[in-house]
């Protein structure tokens, strides 16, 4: 993938990893559209930045996705790259204070939201020179966190969907999976300063270094996530679960 001269849509671009990647790519001279549900957060993200635009989008609402797709086709025909970062997580779901409805919401946003946006944008992206689709899974796609079974399952499904998508779009678009470790963001309460989690600036720097590699890796994996990604292969699943317990998040 090329790092400059792109027009990029970043969903979940009003906060956290999505916002950070949007700024990183904008700093490189790309035109960036940040999409999300909260107009105020999007406005803060683009404040003082030329060639950075906002788009209200609720990935759980098919009508909102359809409306956003119309805007993108009309106003940004040059769009060639998607970073789909929108997602939610809670530590109060199945077995830890939540219910099946909570699990359904998590899966709808994290998995079906990914599918809605990606499938909707494929006609605009596929076959375009330097077309790139980036999904965002998680280290928990490979070793589930027992206190967040629906979240972990949704990210495992995003990983599986991405593998299929890459095969389907071979020769038509580059498909990259971003699988973060635990990062200090506002994804869950108190996570911004959680001990043992990777600082966001360090995560973003290493992720951008991975994007700059030639060829670009199909999975963008920082060093902190490799123990999770490779745990099953290395026979260290129980070791990773013990690590979760030591962090007090099992």
DSSP 105-118: HHHIIIIIHHHHHH
Count CA atoms closer than 13 A to 248's CA, side-chain side.
Answer: 5
* 90-138 confidence digits (pLDDT tens): 988 988 888 899 999 999 999 999 999 999 999 999 989 899 999 999 9
Q: Residue 200: CB partners within 8 Å, gap ≥ 6?
A: 16, 17, 20, 183, 184, 185
Domains of the chain: 7-225 (3.40.50.720)
Catalytic status, residue 151: yes
This prediction's pTM:
0.95
Contact 49, 101 (CB under 8 A): no
11-33: average pLDDT: 97
Strands 31-36 and 132-136: unpaired
| Mean pLDDT across 60-79 | 98
ω into 215 cis (within 30 of 0): yes
Which candidate in 76, 151, 161, 203 is catalytic?
151
The confidence score (pLDDT) of residue 184 equals 87
Q: Which of 26, 33, 127, 40 is nearest to 76 (CA)?
A: 33
- Is the model's pLDDT at 250 over the cut of 60? no
Helix H or strand E segment including 33:
strand 31-36
Which pLDDT belongs to residue 177? Answer: 98
């Amino acid at each position: 993938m090329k790092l400059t001269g792109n027009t990029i849509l970043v969903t979940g671009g009003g906060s956290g990893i999505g916002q950070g990647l949007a700024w990183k790519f904008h700093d490189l001279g790309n035109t960036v559209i940040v999409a999300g549900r909260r107009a105020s957060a999007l406005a803060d993200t683009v404040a003082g930045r030329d060639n950075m635009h906002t788009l209200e989008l609720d990935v759980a609402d098919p009508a909102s996705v359809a409306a956003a797709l119309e805007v993108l086709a009309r106003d940004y025909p040059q769009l060639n790259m998607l970073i789909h970062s929108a997602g939610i997580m809670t530590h109060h779901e199945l077995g830890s204070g939540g219910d099946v409805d909570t699990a359904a919401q998590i899966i709808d946003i994290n998995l079906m939201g990914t599918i809605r946006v990606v499938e909707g944008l494929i006609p605009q992206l596929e076959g375009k020179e330097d077309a790139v689709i980036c999904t965002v899974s998680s280290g928990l796609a490979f070793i589930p966190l027992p206190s967040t079974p629906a979240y972990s399952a949704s990210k495992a499904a995003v990983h599986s969907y991405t593998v299929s998508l890459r095969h389907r779009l071979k020769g038509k678009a580059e498909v990259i999976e971003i699988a973060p470790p635990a990062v200090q963001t506002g994804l869950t309460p108190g996570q911004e300063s959680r001990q043992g989690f990777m600082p966001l600036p360090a995560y973003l720097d290493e992720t951008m270094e991975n994007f700059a590699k030639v060829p670009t890796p199909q999975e963008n994996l920082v060093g902190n996530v490799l123990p999770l990604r490779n745990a099953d292969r290395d026979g260290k699943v129980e070791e990773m679960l013990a690590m979760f317990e030591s962090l007090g998040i099992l």
